[in-house]
């Protein structure tokens, strides 16, 4: 039995060993540019953060069972907006713009950073953040800052080490440990290797999504009405 904590207002969860939930419908409902107002959603949000090109949109497609509904590209900087995907009319996947995209204008990079921070701070229905890092590389200063922001705003991100298909099996554990140590994750934080090519790791990621949906998703409206403070 694994126990994890993803948000400061929750006690420790025991992760259920369930089958991945069925995705019945997906709909890109809201797209926010740097100057847009963020939506006041009334369903649970689950966000995906990570450096540009790390594989956020690819992961979201893999979870949604869609090929390229969330647009992906081998050129970094594809997703430059915050995209809210309505899943099953029950919750949202939130695709955040990639940070650390060197070719973008510095002013724009700053605006994205502020926008992501504002979203983490202001969303009243965000309960789970997945932070993606490339399994091949040691997390850099941007990754560490992103992790620290999340913690500052009350989240304990679950780490996803993407592009697992690109490392040798014998190297995997070492890489995962390096990621854990460099980010300085909260004790007990899951670090899940994932590949959007082989889909390995998908079921495990869904265990956490199921868990958070069971615990927060169904009651979120009531919590909003009662003025639940994040």
For Mg ion, the binding residues (CB under 5 A) are 56-57, 78-79
| Strands lying side by side in the sheet with 82-87 | 26-32, 82-87, 91-95, 44-50, 126-134, 158-162, 191-193
Q: Which does 53 bind (CB under 5 to 8 A by kind): Mg ion, ligand GTP, none?
A: ligand GTP
Q: Interface mask (CB under 6 A) for ligand GTP, residues 141-170, using x and -?
A: ---------------------xx-xx----
- CB atoms under 10 Å from CB of 179, counted, come to 23
Is 54 a binder of ligand GTP (CB under 6 A)? yes
Determine the interface stretch with ligand GTP among 27-35, 74-82, 148-156, 181-189 (rule: CB under 6 A): 74-82
- As measured in angstroms, the least distance from the Cβ of 82 to Mg ion is 11
Question: In whole angstroms, how close is the CB of 116 to Mg ion at the nearest point?
Answer: 13
**Closer to Mg ion by Cβ: residue 56 or 163:** 56
The span from the CA of 83 to the CA of 72, in Å, is 13
| 195 forms part of the interface with ligand GTP (CB under 6 A) | yes
β-bridge pairing 3-4 and 13-14? antiparallel
Using CB under 6 A as the binding rule, the residues of this chain from 99 to 138 that contact ligand GTP are none
Q: Which residues contact 5 (CB under 8 A, 6 or more apart)?
A: 11, 12, 13, 156, 186, 188
Residues 120, 153: Cα–Cα separation, whole Å:
7
Site for ligand GTP in 197-226 (CB under 6 A): 197
Interface with ligand GTP (CB under 6 A), residue from 4, 44, 98, 209: 98
CB of residue 187 vs ligand GTP: minimum separation in angstroms?
A: 27
Residues 192/157, Cβ–Cβ less than 8 Å: no
Instruction: Locate 202 and state its tokens.
Output: 């998908």
Check residue 122 and report its DSSP letter: H
Which tokens hold the place of 62? 């893999």
Binding stretches for ligand GTP (CB under 6 A): 50, 52-58, 72-74, 76-79, 98, 162-163, 165-166, 195-197
């Amino acid at each position: 039995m694994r126990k994890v904590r993803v948000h400061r207002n929750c006690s420790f969860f025991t992760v259920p060993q369930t089958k991945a939930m069925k995705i019945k419908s997906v709909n890109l409902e809201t797209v926010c540019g740097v100057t847009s107002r963020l939506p006041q959603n009334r369903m649970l949000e689950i966000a995906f953060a990570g450096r540009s090109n790390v594989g956020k949109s690819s992961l979201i497609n893999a979870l949604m069972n869609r090929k390229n509904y969330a647009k992906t590209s081998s050129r970094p900087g594809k997703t430059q907006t915050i995209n809210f995907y309505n899943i099953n009319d029950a919750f949202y996947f939130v695709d955040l713009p990639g940070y650390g995209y060197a070719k973008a204008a510095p002013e724009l990079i700053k605006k994205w950073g502020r926008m992501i921070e504002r979203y983490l701070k202001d969303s009243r229905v965000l309960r789970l953040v997945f932070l993606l890092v490339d399994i091949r590389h040691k997390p850099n200063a941007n990754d560490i800052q992103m992790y620290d922001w999340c913690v500052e705003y009350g989240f304990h991100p679950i780490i996803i080490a993407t592009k697992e298909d690109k490392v040798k099996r014998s190297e995997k554990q070492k890489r995962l440990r390096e990621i854990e140590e460099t980010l300085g994750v909260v004790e007990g934080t899951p670090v899940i290797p994932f590949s959007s090519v082989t889909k390995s790791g998908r079921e495990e990621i869904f265990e956490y999504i199921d868990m958070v949906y069971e615990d927060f998703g169904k009651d979120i409206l009531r919590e909003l009405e009662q003025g639940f403070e994040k």
